[in-house]
Amino acid sequence: MSAASERRVLDEAGGFGAMTWVMAIMLFLTVLAAAVGLGTGAAARLLDRELAGRLTVQIVDGDPVRREAAAARALAAIRTVPGVSSATAVDRAELTRLLRPWLGSDGSDPELPVPAIIDVTIADATGSAIALVAAAAHGASPAARIDRHASWMTPVSGFMQTLTLLAWALVGLMASATAAVVVLAARAGLETHHATIEVMHMLGSTDVQVARLFQRRIAIDAAIGGAIGGVAALAAVAFLGLRLRGLGSELLGGVTLSGVDWLLLAALPIGFVLLATLAARAAVLAALRAIL
């Protein structure tokens, strides 16, 4: 059978089959969903690593002299704890800046009883290391409070992990929808060209040869559509990445893609072409066996 005859096995309108545009749309949405899954997954892991060993020690005392003295003792004691990689007192000016959105100019009042803050980073964020830091802080001041950054950022990390799972679920749904569309297109082609296929069988063509005809046509349309949708999606992902970096947010800045992630995204169109080809072959062979 000639190449022109092969192209007419499935309907083409305007030079491109309907499958071309279906695959372009499917690939565009799938690559975007996969990029969200990869980016939020990386951000959640980075957030967990950074917050696992981060502590804040608060020295609460209404008397500024006692508060500063207790903070100095606590800082010196914490720095001697094994496993503490850094311990830094937060400057009062920095605290004032952080309080400005809520207190306005009142935050700079020297009489305002603002707790002394010590930022602590632990190299090995085990329960024993945190207990040693707490003991050192309480030894310096019984009013010391220990806050783990991971405890109040857990909801954010959990949300990002949920978003990652939803993104990968969407990728799976798009793959299933693509396979279903291919099956419907293949069956429609069989119905449209039923008489031609019967003649081909009488001339000695086998089911496998007929199926190969359909899968070749769908593979070509899927490859063209996948290239269009994939390139458009990768460009959109790159653009969104630039916008995220421009925001200057530490949290959103973690939503980045590595070189391996970009390779996975670039491989998605190839995977969808293979999926469409196999789905078309399976659908046509099953339909021909049921008919004949």
Maximum Cα–Cα distance for the chain, whole Å? 102
How far apart are the C-alpha atoms of 192 and 178, rounded to whole Å? 21
Encoded amino acid at 51, one letter: L
pLDDT of residue 16: 44
**pTM, entire model:** 0.69
3-state helix, strand, coil in the chain (%, to 5): 75, 10, 15
Q: What is the DSSP letter of 114?
A: P
pLDDT of residue 103: 66
Rounded to 5 degrees, φ, ψ at 152 are: -90, -5
Encoded amino acid at 90, one letter: V
Q: What is the DSSP letter of 107?
A: G
pLDDT of residue 138: 82
Residue numbers in the chain where pLDDT is lower than 50: 1-16
How far apart are the C-alpha atoms of 267 and 10, rounded to whole Å? 26
pLDDT of residue 2: 46
User: Do the bridges between strand 54-59 and strand 12-13 make them parallel or antiparallel, or are there none, so unpaired?
Assistant: unpaired
pLDDT of residue 152: 65
pLDDT of residue 253: 54
pLDDT of residue 93: 74
Query: For residue 109, what are the contacts with CB-CB under 8 A and spacing of at least 6?
Result: none
Query: For residue 49, what are the contacts with CB-CB under 8 A and spacing of at least 6?
Result: none
Angle at the Cα of 72 from the Cα atoms of 129 and 86, rounded to 5 degrees: 40
Per-residue CA distances from 176 to 30, 77, 181 (Å): 11, 59, 9
How far apart are the C-alpha atoms of 139 and 98, rounded to whole Å? 28
How far apart are the C-alpha atoms of 185 and 17, rounded to whole Å? 10
pLDDT of residue 251: 56
Q: Is 138 helix (H, G, I), strand (E, B) or coil?
A: helix
Cα–Cα nearest to 281, from 163, 165, 189, 173:
189
No. of H helices and E strands in the chain? 10, 6
What are the tens digits of pLDDT across the range 210-239?
777 777 888 888 889 889 999 999 999 888
Element (H, E) at 16: strand 16-17
pLDDT of residue 229: 92
How far apart are the C-alpha atoms of 221 and 215, rounded to whole Å? 10
Q: Hey, where are the domains in the chain?
A: 3-48+154-291, 61-142
